[in-house]
Chains A and B, each alone.
Chain A
Amino acid sequence: MAASLVPEVYEVLAREAHLLDDRDYEGWLELFTDDCLYWMPVDPLVEDGTMRLNVFYDDKPKMVDRIARLSSGSAYTEEPISLTARTFAAVQVEEDGASDGERIAVRSNFQMVAYRSGEQRVLGGRYLHRLVREGGVRISEKRVTLLGSDAPQRPMTFLF
């Protein structure tokens, strides 16, 4: 059953990727439910980030703040802005009961190239998307497990 959902899920993930790379922040926000969570743990093995330190752990209001800051002209790590292009693959719908017709958990791998001031960086890791049917399909949780999230990093204030 879960495998039959992959084409629909793939469409949502591709739409999200393009919205992010186009820096269509408002369009990206609309993909998320109001009670959503967008987060990146420091420790890649953490299941629940509530009582742990994260690289970011945003509820929807903080995602709005994040975007307002990026658009302010005074978030200097993004002046000039980072251009990004991301690909994702190995999309798999979880079979362990986390997915039914209404709620779906999806794993994928991603690779993102970020370009700024003459330099290309490659960042990679794994996504976990939890999707719900709410009108269309919307994202209730997006977890980004970045390779090296627990190691020293250069600023990464663009969106994953």
Chain B
Amino acid sequence: VSWLRSPTPRKRSTKVESYRGFIFASFNPEVPALTDHLHDVLPYIDRFVEHAGDHALRVAPDANEVVYEANWKMQLENNVDGYHLSFTHQSLFGVIQQRTGKQPRYLGGSTEGAATVEAFSNGHAVMDLRSVATGVLRERLDIVPGAPPPGSDLDEYFGLENAEELYLSSTGPPMNVSIFPNLNLGSINICEIHPLSVNRTRVVLRPLLLDGVPDDINRVRLRYHEIGSGPAGFVQPDDVEMFDRVGLGLASEEVEWIQMTRGLQRETVAADGHKVSHISDETPQRGQYRHWRELMSVD
């Protein structure tokens, strides 16, 4: 009864490849080979996938999804922007401070030993918080509903040896790996950016659970993810609000240009050619737009 079915969808040749379990697809048959496209960020993807040692990552069956009223590149920029953290998310840091008595700090004054942002080929970028985040993320675990009370014996609580390492991995690797154009790996989630129109975007956050661990470990990961993510979280809605506001501002016809030069004078070029700068600088965003312009230009 094939005549009852809806018409065959318009045929589009799709190119599909995968790396470490992540499946990438493109409607452009001329797209470069996946590992050529990802080239510089391959080690960062590896590090993300291996953040819980030998335990394989498993995507949770549900996702948090939000919609914002602005261009898809707002979320792309945001994922590797360190500057907005202490302003946009100060309400989260306030909550953590109130609960733990400790002031969460991401932005050190000096450049030395501070967290970095890095811009790679093909518009990829990384925000690397490893040098500053361990204590901050530990404090964030203390406000997770149903987390082991501070000071408890973690081996006993979770019923396994060396539970602390596994427990601390609940916050994920302290870095965001932004894969051009619409994927981010950060915290313990996969962030997909879906443009719906030029000024409307859907963002999907899928938390990652671990294989071969007690349920209590994955329960903490779910509760940790819920603190920030989703339309009622303590983090993501405030980003959405900022995207909406920026979208409104960009719709203004009065001003044609915006400036994106923050940190331009102090970014450095590494031996392999990628750019590195202080976490508060716009180095990744310049890289993203440089690549975007290249793709959107006709010779």
Contacts and interface: CB of A to CB of B under 8 A. Distances in A.
Interface of A: 40, 42-43, 50-59, 61-62, 65-66, 68-69, 72, 74-77, 150-157
Contacts of B237: 75, 77, 155-157
A75 B238 CA distance: 7
A53 B240 contact: no
Nearest to B60: A53
Contacts of B238: 75-77
Most chain A CB inside 10 Å of its own CB: which residue of B90, B91, B219: B91
A72 B203 CA distance: 26
Range class of the B interface residue count: 35 or more
Contact of B91 (A40, A43, A56, A74): A74
8 contacts: A55-B232, A62-B143, A69-B91, A69-B94, A152-B202, A152-B204, A155-B241, A156-B237
A13 B226 CA distance: 27
Contact of A57 (B60, B218, B223): B223
B257 to A, nearest CB: 25
Contacts of A153: 65-67, 230-231
Interface in B158-207: 202-204, 207
Contact of A65 (B90, B232, B234): B234
B49 to A, nearest CB: 20
Interface string B224-242: 0111001111101110111
B62 A150 contact: yes
Contact of B145 (A55, A59, A69, A156): A59
Nearest to B229: A53
A58 B145 contact: yes
Contacts of B207: 53
Nearest to B144: A62
A51 B145 contact: no
Interface string B59-97: 011111111100000000000000000001011101100
B98 A68 contact: yes
B192 to A, nearest CB: 11
Nearest to A150: B62
Given A42-B63, A55-B232, A69-B234, 4 more contacts: A43-B62, A56-B226, A74-B91, A152-B202
Q: Which 9 A-B pairs have the closest CB atoms?
A: A155-B237, A53-B62, A152-B65, A153-B231, A42-B62, A59-B145, A76-B241, A77-B237, A74-B91
B67 A152 contact: yes
A59 B149 CA distance: 14
B99 interface: yes
A76 B242 contact: yes
B294 interface: no
B232 A69 contact: no
B222 interface: yes
Nearest to B201: A152
Contact of A51 (B143, B219, B230): B219
Contacts of B60: 52-53
Contacts of B155: none
Most chain B CB inside 10 Å of its own CB: which residue of A61, A69, A72, A152: A152
Nearest to A46: B62
A53 B65 CA distance: 12
B215 interface: yes
Contact of B232 (A51, A150, A156): A156
